[in-house]
């Protein structure tokens, strides 16, 4: 499968999940049973200005969760909130 063609097809077709999108790079065939949650389509933004500012000679891509219209806030994991343990319950005499 031509990677360029699969990228163009993925842009036109509805998102089928990360396995379908990158099948040409993975050991899957028509006989492979693929299960998907339709995840893995979060936009990436290239951070060229940051890399230039630190004198880097590499590419840096940032994951932009706010730009993924398919992900609803109710499906996003809740942030971990530190909490104090409840006070110990006094033992009843007896």
DSSP string, the chain: --HHHHHHHHHHSPP--HHHHTGGGTT--TTS-----S-----EEE-HHHHHHTT--S--EEE-GGG-TTS-GGGSPPPP---PPPPPPPPPP-
Q: What's the structural domain count of the chain?
A: 1
The reply to whether 58 falls in a domain is yes
Is 86 a domain residue?
no
Residue 3 pLDDT exceeds 80: no
Q: What percent of the chain has pLDDT over 70?
A: 68
Host domain of residue 26: 3-67
According to the model, what pLDDT value does residue 85 have? 75
Tens-place pLDDT, residues 27-71: 999 899 988 887 788 888 999 999 999 999 999 999 887 765 555
* Residue 77 predicted with pLDDT over 70: no
Higher pLDDT, 53 or 84: 53
């Amino acid at each position: 499968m031509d990677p360029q063609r699969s990228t163009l097809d993925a842009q036109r077709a509805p998102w089928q999940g990360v396995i379908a999108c990158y099948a040409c790079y993975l050991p899957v065939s028509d006989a492979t049973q693929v299960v998907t949650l339709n995840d893995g389509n979060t936009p990436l933004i290239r951070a060229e200005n940051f890399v230039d500012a630190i004198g880097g000679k590499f590419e840096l891509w940032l994951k932009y969760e706010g730009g993924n219209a398919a992900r609803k806030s109710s499906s996003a994991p809740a942030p971990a909130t530190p909490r104090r343990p409840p006070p110990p319950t006094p033992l009843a005499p007896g």
